[in-house]
Structure 1
């Protein structure tokens, strides 16, 4: 299913359609009942009885992993009936319901049809969450425009350290278990895989900062396929590298230390993806002199 197939009420003008189809932050409450139906299909259960017997394990382990008491108790007969499961699911707020879905995705092997059903529910509800893949497991990931997503998949599917680091950066910036600091750090390291080789080939421990210094010392030693030196293309490239490097405020302890915000991490990952794409395709190169 693509965005173009999403239903809109008849008679809507273009402006109303744009507003109607806009993605909603988090998990829209209007999708809760469909989500519960999906979870009743996805959660491990003994379905050989008229009334399925649901395993306690996902609930108890999720409660433990979250470090929060949701009131999940071990029942005397060792399982929950569907009526109890619905009550337990209804006790979640929207954030914790999203986290529980993510936990189920990460810890339960499901059929491809179930993954697709969940993605359809989320897409039709215009949720910012989608079903993605992280470290070989299906997870909730923040939705980005399809064109961006396709480019990222092509880059991160390639073998090598840069792709691995960039994939980690995306997972930590746009996944349900987000870690902004880890995302920013991985984004910088993904770029450093290339910048050390291109700008500081004789320095085996070159950082992005080192590469910026060597690049800035003699820009004429390098060429960039986008634009020309007369148009300031190398200055623009250098500026992007500086933007990524100088705004990682949690890299060192100092009086000006600041935690990386989610918005900063996502901006950094998008910027790093562009740089990695350019470097990987040989668009930045050393000029023979």
Structure 2
């Protein structure tokens, strides 16, 4: 049976987006053309692939089985076709990355401009979010995360600084008023600017010195969403509202300017840097291969 590849892609787009309108938005087509393609595919196969209601679209059992086999197959087809890019003077196409907000803020600014300058025919789309994401299901080519959050069966390539630290700081005016902590436990009597993950968890502040590790459950009036609202905490700290605990590189401009004063620096914990991760398949899309080669070559 000869089936049109475009119809198969249309089915995958609609099923993945759980709707014709969202599928059209993500695929760049129109809802009517996707609907016609899926209807044509169902007619050719002689089986219904999608349950359609006025509120939702979801795969039938047959559609689920087809999706399980189609997604990896279509990914390999795209990669195989992309090999042709290797015969071009320069790689071309779109590279889509899913990254944490910290990477968008601290890692990519020094990489993206020279990469785009080196590969003018590559378009880069960056999606910044801090939740756990299946990069393939999200339609991305690769992701950036810390090593302990990497997905299984992925190739990981170091990107950005290899060692980072969390820093603790406050405005000099706040410290003049409330005193300067000499030990992490002193923070229990301070106004601390806390963060909450999207999952609802509120991580303690971690410290380490000479083999001793501490986890302090601080308190304070202000709580922000980790990542997306971190700049609000920074502004509040500069205004004297309390003590902030954040990536050292994020706070560095304010530490250097004197707007924030570092505290408890001997206790600042170190951790390994980010990794670029992507499926370990043999044929990589040319834009992704170019990006991997770029960061491995030091940009």
What TM-score, normalized by structure 2, do the two folds share?
A: 0.26
Instruction: Report the structure, 1 or 2, having the larger strand content.
Output: 2
Q: TM-score when scaled to structure 1?
A: 0.26
Higher helix share: 1
